[in-house]
Amino acid sequence: MSDIASRVKAIIVDKLGVDENEVVTEASFTNDLGADSLDTVELIMEFEKEFDIQIPDDQAENISTVGQAVSYIEEAKK
């Protein structure tokens, strides 16, 4: 797992209170990991803080799975 992926995973485990094993690439924040609309906003903000990036709202709407978050951040950090 890349460094980014493991940091993303750690944030999700912490904020959503889920088990590490559940945080797989295809897992959806809302459908699989029990996030509600507020949790999702908080996750995005945590990603911004952790990786020192800005994720505009229209981009954030497209980040709904663990894999999408990792790819977005990897792209942004290039």
Partner 1 sequence: MELKRVVVTGLGALTPIGNNISEYWDSLIHGKSGAAPITYFDTSLFKTKFACEIKNFNANDYFDRKEVRRLDRFAQYALVASDEAILDSGVDLNVVDKYRVGVIWGAGIGGLETFQNEVIDFAKGDGTPRFNPFFIPKMIADIAPGNISIKHGFMGPNYATVSACASSANAMIDALNYIRLGYSDIMVTGGSEAAVTQAGMGGFNSMHALSTRNDDPQKASRPFDANRDGFVLGEGGGALILEEYEHAKARGAKIYAEVIGGGMSSDAYHMTAPHPEGIGVIAVMKNCLENSGLKPEDVDTINTHGTSTPLGDVAELKAIKQVFGEHAKNININSTKSMTGHLLGAAGAVEAIASILAMQNSLVPPTINHETADENIDSELNLTLNKPQKREIKVAMSNTFGFGGHNACVAFKKMEE
Determine if 50 is a binding residue for partner 1 (CB under 8 A).
no
Determine if 41 is a binding residue for partner 1 (CB under 8 A).
yes
Chosen residue from 1, 2, 6, 17 binding partner 1 by CB under 8 A: 17
Residues 56 to 75 in contact with partner 1, rule: CB under 8 A = none
- Distance (Å, whole) CA 74 – CA 62: 15
In the annotation, is 57 catalytic? no
Residue 16, token pair as written in the block: 């959503």
- Kindly list the residues in this chain that would bind partner 1 in the complex (CB under 8 A): 15-17, 34, 38-39, 41-42, 45, 49
